[in-house]
Structure formats: structure tokens, C-alpha cells
Structure 1
Amino acid sequence: MPRLTDYSSYADAQEYANSSALWELFDGDKEHLNIAHESITRHADGSGRAAVRIAHSDGRDEILSFDTLSAGAARFAHWLDDNGIRPGERIAFMLEPSLPFYVCLFGAMQTGAISVPLFTLFGPDALRLRIDDCKPSILITNAEKAELAGQIDGLRVVVADDSLLEEITKYPDTYAPKTKANDLAVFQYTSGTTRELPAAVKHTHKAIVTLMFAALYGTGIRPEDEFFCPSSPAWGHGLWHGTLAPLALGVTTGTFAGRFDATRLMKALQDYKITNMSAAATHYRMMKNTGNADDFSFYFKKLTFTGEPIDPATLEFIDHYFKVPACSMYGTTEIGVVLVNYPGAEDFQVKPGSLGKPVPGLKLEVQRPDGTPTEAGEVGELMLWRKDHWETTKDRAKLDDEGYLYHCGRADDVIISAGWTMSAVEIEHTMLKHDDVIEVGVIGVPDETRGQVAKAFVISNREPNEEFITELKNFTREKLSQHEFPRHIVFLSELPKTQAGKVHRKVLRDREAANQPAVTN
């Protein structure tokens, strides 16, 4: 009997994709389910087939099999039991992708403990906020971070090194999980600043099933793929879409460990002969900025991106070097993926700049402030129908006459100047077309005459001066409109970023509000 993984067309997705068909992809049922079993244990068949390929920033390649991960996770689960860890307790992980990371992550899930992945670049304040919030029984990290973690009173810190891996070898290499589908499995923190605590989104084991809508139609994963996702598994994209989704389908996935280097990434994509990659928009932009793409061969059949829209110059780079369209995958950690471009579907047209169309079974609408639906081309707030009511995504969007949706910025990234509505995202994308603009962030700032005006923060290798500022203003105005350009431009050595790599406009706005000028070149 055909399964959803046997279909690739948009038409088939609309006809066959439903909740019952998703459950057919798993061993578990609506009563008993375990993410670790579905992702690694059931695929461990003694063949040594690769589960994860890790491209380390120092040039090393590490390949971990389903067999190795399944045995290690089972042993670590027994170790947790022996150490008194009980179902529902939190186990935090601050590790780069590695054998200890996956062994500990999946081992904790098997016991019914709740896994809490944490970003390895967190400083003491960011780490303490999250530890105080989730109150883990153990924090598992490396030797380098152990000293930092040890500063938090009452926190038990375990160093995941060769000695820990050696210690757990005395335990059996099989483990029988007893989790229910509705038991909590993961606390996932969204990206944010170290001065405020983003919410922890709480996922049950059943989330692996609903995730398959995004896997099948957002990233287009199918059994024959060679998959790669360079995003950190500390964040939703890297953990759910880059790790759990492909593994649950028995697909080998790849990831990046260490300080990110776009040239190293391209070498890994070549060496692993990757056919399907899902990455942040920033990753594609950084590959473009290296100027080294001519040095590598690529084998892509599907590409997706998330996090923010891709600027036109980067889309041109993707078309030229990767030869397949970059498909947007839109969603948030809180609501999941809701808009996709059905990569691999020959009957679905990918429109550059579009967020695509809803995943099967979802209803979205662009609405005016009064709740009425907008006309084609009219910008409004993107709303999701959920649990018998409309729920805001906090994003602005517009719909075309063929039902494709386009992102028009966060609701708080809209700039209203002298009655005109401008998009910070649109201004950024236009400025990135200039050959001398490497990165840019745009916000609205107060203006006595116009209410607000656009201010751009630019990174460039070109010497900043008044002539360059005027050139950028005219360049943007000519490509957009006479009113839609940054009236203020400053040059920075770096832009504030969220932990997920997106330009952090809120930090820029907070600096302006506090009259704290950024350090300029």
C-alpha cells in the first residue's frame, strides 16, 4: 500500500495528506510513541548505515551510524536511570553536534526525561536565564563550557567526553521506552537577546508526527535524499527539520559543528554529494559572499530556506550555482511550518520571493485591521485558523491572484512615514542589490515632520563617506519609489543578530530608543 513518502506531486499532497496517513509512517500510535525509537532505534538494522554526517569547522568529517547512535542512546538511558533521573525531569544539553550530543539527546528521550537543547555560544547571563526557567536535573556540556556552567549554584554539570562514553559501555545496548504520545519530550527555546528570556515551546513525542507535514512538503524529504541542514540543533530549524525529521524517515542527515565557515560548508556539500539542503537565508548569503562557489561541484535537486526572505542577489547566486529554485519554508517555533513550496513537486511552480501555499489541511488568510480579508496585492496581517479562531502570526503579507503568499515584514517592522507605509525588509533587499553592501538592517526612527523615517545600518568594505551615503539613498529611491529610501544611513562593523542568525532589528530599535549610538567604522 502506498505511503506518503511514495508521492511527490502537489496534487497528490492535496489528495492524500492527512493525519491518518502521517501516522502510517511510524511504529508508534496515538497512545504510545517515542521520538528516539522513531528516529534511530527502528532504523538500526546492523548494516552500519549512516545516520548523521558532521562537517566540523576544522575540516574533519564525522559519520555516525544508526547502529552506533541506537546503542549509545540505550546505554545512556540506562545510565540516567541509575543516576535517579525520572520521567518528566529536564536534561539540558549545551553541545555541538557530535557523538555525545546525539547519544545523550536520544537517550534522555527514551527514559521519558525532557530534552532541553541550548546554544553553545550562550554567555553566562543567557545560560542562567534558561537554567533558572527550565530547572534541569543535569546540564551536559563539554569541558570548555563546564567552567561557565559551574558558576550556576545548584546545577549538576556532566562533561560529555570520552570518559562518559566509556563509562556507559557497561550498560545494555537496548532500551524499551515507555513514553506516551502526549508526554513532553523537548523544551525548545526560541532565539532572542540575553537580556530577555524567550519562551520555551514545549513539544510532546507526538510532535514528530505533525512535523512530517513540514518534512514532506516544506523540505521535501524523501527516502532517496542525501540531506543536509547547517543550522544548530539548539534551534527549532536545526533540531526538528534538520535532525529529527530526516532521521524519523530513515534518511541520512548532515550538519555543521564549530564556528561556521561558508567555504567549509560548500566543501561538505560537494564531498557528501548532498541532493537536498535546508538552511537559513543567512547561510546562502554567506556562501555567495565568499566568492568561492566556482571551486566546488554541487548535486542539488531540492533546496529550502527559512528564517527570513532571501534577497534577490542571493537568489540569483542560487540559480546560477545550484541550478534549482530555493523554496521558502515559513513558520515559527510556536506554530510550526504553515507555508511551503513543495520542493520536488513537478506540478508546483515556485515563484521567486513567495512564501508558497499552505501545507495540506491548513487555512491562512491575509486580513485588514477590521478582520476582513484583503484583496490580491493588498498588504495585511497574516492569520492562521486554529482551534476555531483566527490566530495572528505577527507577520504582514500579501496574496497574489493565484493564491501565493508573500512576506511583507514583521508587524513591528512596518515603517509609516508621512502617511506612506514602507517595509523594512523591502528596503533591505533593495540595498543588498548594491555591489558594495554586504549586510544591512533597516528600522523606523522618529521624525518630527514625517512621524517616522527609515534608518539603515550598513556593513561595507567601501570607505564610508557622504558621497557613498548619497549614492545608496539614490540607488534605493530609484529602485523602489521617491519616498521609500533610508533618510539616515550609518556604517557598522557588525550587525546585531539573533542566535538564529537573523538581523536583530529589535536591538537596533532599542539602541535608538535609549540614545545609545552604535560603534561605527
Structure 2
Amino acid sequence: MTRTDTDPWYCTLASDSYEQARREFEWSLPEDYNLAYDLLRKHADPDRPALYQASPDGRRETYTFGDLDRLSNRVANALEARGIGRGDRVGVVVPQKPENALTHLACWKIGAISLPLSPLFGPDALSHRLTDSGARVVVADASVREALEEVEDDSALEHTVFVDGSGDDSFESMIENRSAEYAITDTDAETPAIIMYTSGSTGPPKGVLHSHGVWVGHCPAFSMYFELDVDGTYWTPADWAWIGALGDLLFPAWHYGQPVVGSPLGKFSPEEAFSLMEEFDVTGAFLPPTAIRMMMEVDSNRYDLSIEAICSGGEPLTPEILEWADEELGGVPVNELYGQTEANLLVTNCREWFPARAGSMGKPVPGHDVRVIDPGTGEERPTGEVGEISVRRGGDPVVFHEYWNRPKRTDEACVGPWHRTGDLGYADEEGYLWFKSRDDDLIITSGYRVGPREVEEVLLDHEAVAQVGVIGVPDETRGEIVKAVVQPVGDGSDQLREELRDLVRDRLAKYEYPREIEFREELPQTTTGKIRRKDLLEE
């Protein structure tokens, strides 16, 4: 492999317009495509910084693309010495530390399948994923040692390696004296590479198998939401176990040869976020809306920022976020994006090409054929009519291969050539896509269909609402009624209940207002920060 950064699979969108990019874009991956080669070895300058590592104790380290290549070679050799080969699964339970990325890269060099897992998982969550995937080795942070000890006997694990540990089971011990040379195994864009588990918001977490082409498939969207200028420094506070961190920022940045800041923050601190962005001259950030709302409470003028664009997704992106970025960050665009574990970064915004519309996810990204269809027939819905958001499977590298060990569920997610996302929405006359709800979260009250996300977006506009989850609860007369479970900024009150009901009545429709409102100190969330509506129903 001797390719350079100028090859056609280096997916910068150079078109003059969105329409031209949609017409002309084609996937052009080489027959022997390998993720690790793409992210590390294809770059002309191996001494270019790839990772600025910021440790909580104040230490700062810089890793070049050459450093990461040599270190991941040592990890690959160490894993092979433990019997790991093509198709074997390796768990990665590490926060934003170099060992996280190094283990993924090593797996892809071997032809093994990596398994990103959150350090926030407890024993039950780890047990399900490690057992279901059949992982043979896990590389984990020392902070999860006790949790892993509870699940080792119930899984297929043969080796557990701890980062920042000591003794024979430490990461340093594993790679000690291993060669820094490694010949990447033969792969192509369809070779299995990674299993990511769904958040479990609609049932037991399912393993989503993706191939080596998955991260390059994210790059057109990356180029769009960072406004067609990919030269910069990137950071996200999101867990490196989530596709929103790995796919929305980390690996696309490395595909383009750009440095990323890594920092295991722990609990999110808006002040620390601003400080990191200032220290490392971060130009592009992926920030979930919850993080942005917390940052809105801090005086950003205290920091000398270099931020040029922010992308965001996973929760409603409400209008006041866009207004804050315009007023407090000097017009920095905040571009919403849409995707899921099974098919990520299908839709986004790009101010260089078209104006953002508050509440809209944006337009389909070049390279992805996204339609709103009838989930039963696969026929496209007319403009403005609600249907299921779907993407054509054939030839799209971001679309998953299968649910691990669940062929029936894989088949159920398809209709004709389409992967059904399970999300309901509609397209307007100018091609913008609008999300309504999950198809299985719909509330049917008095014959009306209510999408909970739409109600949540309105409630989040109230200054006294920090977080909210909207669900349907049984009612003898109406079948279901709308209930809002609210985490207030201060104390809840009857007056606040009435204000929230009036807000929904005024902004949406009278039948959509929450007849019941419950206040709680905190709401159950998945590890990706989504409200677990199912848990609200059960509590």
C-alpha cells in the first residue's frame, strides 16, 4: 500500500454546491482497504501530531501518527501472542486514553473485531455485551477491575489487560518487548471490524456489526458539519465507546490527518471544557446538546477560543442553542446531525451550502440515499407526509452488516433495499428532514398520534427545565395520555406545571400537552446521554 492523501477515497467534499455534491459523489475505496492503514499509514507526514493527550493530573503528551502506528503494532503483536486472530472479538473498556484507540487500531491490523464498551458500565451491562459477543480478550481501565471480576467466569474471556494497572496483567507489561513492526493483514471494505451495542432504549442491547469501511463512510458528513474545512484540531467530551465520539469526530479526523484532543474528564464540567478548548486551540467540537446547555451557563468571554464550528446530535437541538452560539461565540455554526448505531451520519447541516432550520436535522449527506418510506411497502412517502426514515443498504459503508447473532432482527430492520431506522419523520419541499419520534415511542391519545420528542423540544425551551422525558401512560377514556417526567432547574411547583402545559398547548396542539407532569431530581439515561423512556414507564 503506497497511496497518498490525494487519492479519491480521501473524502473531502470539494463541490461548489450541495446539489452538485449529491449528484457527483461516489464511494471509491481500494480493493485492499484497511482502517488502520487509512487512519495512520496513508499520511505523507508520519511526524504530524495525531493526539494531544491531557491527563487530569496536568500531564500533557503528544502522539504523532507514526507514534500511534508503532505503538499499535506492538499491541497487535501482543494480541497475536495471546491467540487473537482474524474475526476474534476484543473488548475495549477504556476512557479517552491512548490505549483505547491503540487497541482498536491493533485489532484492525490483525483482522480482529474490536468491541467498544463504556467504563461507566456496571457488571450486568459488561456481562451481556462480553458474553453476547464472545470476546476472548478485554483491555480495560483499572477503574473497572471489580466490575470485570464479577463477569469473567460467565463469559468467554481468556485474558484481561488493565490500563494504568501493575503486574503481569497490565497494558505496559503486555506490550513490553513486543516488536514495533507489523505487516497489516489483508482486508477490504467489507471485512468485519467493529461491534457496537445499541443503547438499549427499545429493548436488550443488540450488537451492531460494521465493516472496515465504516469510518470513511462518516467523512462526507464530517466535512459538511465542519463547514467544508477539515484542517484543524478536534475534541469531544463524549465517551470513546459511543459511535457519536468515534464516528462523529475521532476517526474521521484521523482519516483527514488532523489532531484530536483526548482527555478522560469524568463528570462533565463546562469550565473544564472551555479550558481544554482554549488550551489546545480546538477549532471543531462534537458537543451533545446537554453539554452545550451546561456551557451556556458559563461566561465564554473569559476564554480565548479558536472554535470555528460545532456539531451536535443525540438530543433535541433547541433554538436557544443556535442563538447562544450566534451571540456568545461570534456566529459559530452549530450543525445538527442525525444517525444511529446501525447507520450513522446520514443527515446533517452545512451553512456554506444551505441555511440551518431550527428543529430540522438538515439534509441527506452525499453518498447516502435517505428517504422517508412506508415501512410496510418500502414505497417513498410524499413530501410532508410522515413515514419511516430509511437508507439504501447496497454500497453504503455506514450501513451495518447485521445484528450480531440475531439474523431475524436483521431481516426485520429491512424492507426491500432499505434499512429502516425505526425513526419517524418527514421531508419538506426543500429537502430538509424533520424528526418526529421513534416508531415504537408514539403516543396515541384520543386517536391523535403524538411524538414525544416534539413535546420534549418544547418543554426544554422553558428556562426551568433541565431535562425531560415524555411518555404515554394508560387512560381509560383516551387510551393513553401524555405524561412528562421533568428534571427542574430548581424546585418543581404547581405553577410550573401549568406553565409547561400552557407552553405545549400554545406551541404545538391542545391534545399534545402533558396532562400529567412529574418532577424528579434526575432522569434515567443511557450511557450515550439519551433519556430512557422505557425506564420512565417502569418506575
Is 1:340 matched up with 2:348? yes
Change (3 A) 1:472 1:212: closer
| Shift in CA distance, 55/483, structure 1 to aligned 2, threshold 3 Å | farther
State how far apart, in whole Å, the 2-side matches of 1:500 and 1:57 are. Answer: 22
Pairing partner for 2:302 from 281, 295, 300: 295
Which residue of 1 is the match for residue 324 of structure 2? 317
Aligned residue identity for 1:159: F
1:411 aligns with 2:439: yes
Cα distance in 1, alignment partners of residues 462 and 253 from structure 2: 38
TM-score by length of structure 1 reads 0.88
Counterpart of 2:164 in structure 1: which amino acid? Answer: D
Measure the CA separation in 1 of the matches of 2:513 and 2:488. Answer: 18
Change (3 A) 1:291 1:83: same
Aligned to 1:383: 390
1:44–1:66 Cα contact (<8 Å) kept: no
TM-score (norm 2): 0.85
Is it true that 1:75 corresponds to 2:78 in the alignment? no
The Cα shift of 1:131 comes to 1.2
Please list, as runs of the form range in 1=range in 2, the aligned pairs for 1:429-508 lying within 5 A after superposition.
429-508=457-536
Q: 2: distance between equivalents of 1:392 and 1:269?
A: 37
Name the structure 2 match of 1:519.
Answer: none
1:34 matched to 2:42? The reply is: no
Secondary structure, aligned partner of 1:472 = helix
Q: When the two structures are aligned, how many residues end up with a matched partner?
A: 498
The CA distance in 2 between the partners of 1:46 and 1:2, in whole Å, is 17
Q: Which runs of 5+ in 1 are unaligned?
A: 24-28, 517-521
Question: Structure 1 CA distance, aligned partners of 2:57 and 2:451?
Answer: 40
Aligned to 1:110: 109
User: What residue in structure 2 maps to residue 423 of structure 1?
Assistant: 451
Given that residues 114 and 186 in structure 1 are in contact (C-alpha distance below 8 angstroms), is that contact kept between their aligned partners in structure 2?
yes
Deviation at 1:127, TM superposition (A): 0.6
* Closer/same/farther in 2, CA of residues 179 and 262 from structure 1, 3 Å limit: farther
Aligned to 2:160: 157
1:66 is aligned with what amino acid? Answer: F
Q: 1:374 to 1:159 in 2, by over 3 A?
A: closer
1:353 paired residue among 337, 356, 359: 359
- Cα distance in structure 1, aligned partners of 2:321 and 2:13: 32
Contact 2:230 2:256 in 1 (8 A): yes
**Contact 2:27-2:367 within 8 A present in 1 as well:** no
CA distance in 2, matches of 1:359, 1:149: 40
Q: Partner residue of 2:99? A: 100
1:116 partner SS:
strand
What CA distance in whole angstroms lies between the structure 2 residues aligned with 1:141 and 1:204? 23
Contact (CA 8 Å) 2:77, 2:178: kept in 1 or not?
yes
Distance 1:320 1:89, change over 3 A: same
SS of the residue corresponding to residue 493 of structure 1 reads coil
Determine if contact 1:59/1:264 at 8 Å carries over to the other structure.
Answer: no
Per-residue CA deviations over 1:242-277 (Å, capped at 9, x if unaligned) read 222111221112344131222211221222222222
Tell me, yes or no, if the aligned pair for 2:12 and 2:219 is still in contact at 8 Å: no
Distance 2:393 2:109 in 1: 31
- How large is the Cα RMSD of the aligned pairs? 2.6
Name the SS for the 1:428 alignment partner: helix
Whether 1:184 aligns to 2:192 is: yes
Name whichever of 228-237 and 150-159 sits farther off: 150-159
CA distance in 1, matches of 2:53, 2:22: 35
* Separation in 1, partners of 2:529, 2:344: 19
For residue 288 of structure 2, what is the amino acid of its counterpart?
A
- Give the drift of 1:61: 4.5
Q: Which amino acid aligns with 2:205?
A: P
Q: 1:56: how far off?
A: 4.5
Percent identity between the aligned chains?
32
> Contact 1:256–1:265 (CA<8 Å) still a contact in 2?
no
Distance 1:445 1:164, change over 3 A: closer
Q: State the partner residue of 1:251.
A: 258
Verify the 8 A CA contact 1:477 1:484 in the aligned structure 2.
yes
Distance 1:399 1:252, change over 3 A: same
1:17 is the counterpart of 2:25: yes
Listed as ranges, the gaps of 5+ residues in structure 2 are: 1-5, 395-415
CA deviation after TM superposition for structure 1 residue 11, in Å: 4.3
1:354-373 C-alpha deviation (Å, 9 max, x unpaired) = 11221224333334577565
> Is the contact between residue 367 and residue 380 of structure 1 (CA under 8 Å) also seen in structure 2?
yes
Name which of 227, 237, 241 aligns with 2:244: 237
Cα pair distance change 1:40/1:16, threshold 3 Å: same
Query: Is the Cα–Cα contact under 8 Å of residues 304 and 327 in structure 1 kept in the other structure?
Result: yes
Equivalent in 231, 243, 259 of residue 224 of structure 1: 231
Matching residue of 1:90: 89
DSSP-derived class of the 2:345 partner:
strand
Return the alpha-carbon distance in structure 2 between the equivalents of residues 171 and 369 of structure 1.
52
Q: Which amino acid aligns with 1:309?
A: P
| Aligned partners of 2:375 and 2:420 also within 8 Å | no
- Contact kept, 8 Å, 2:228 with 2:352, in 1: the verdict is no
Whether contact under 8 Å (1:282, 1:502) holds in the other structure is: no
Distance 1:128 1:389 in 2: 34
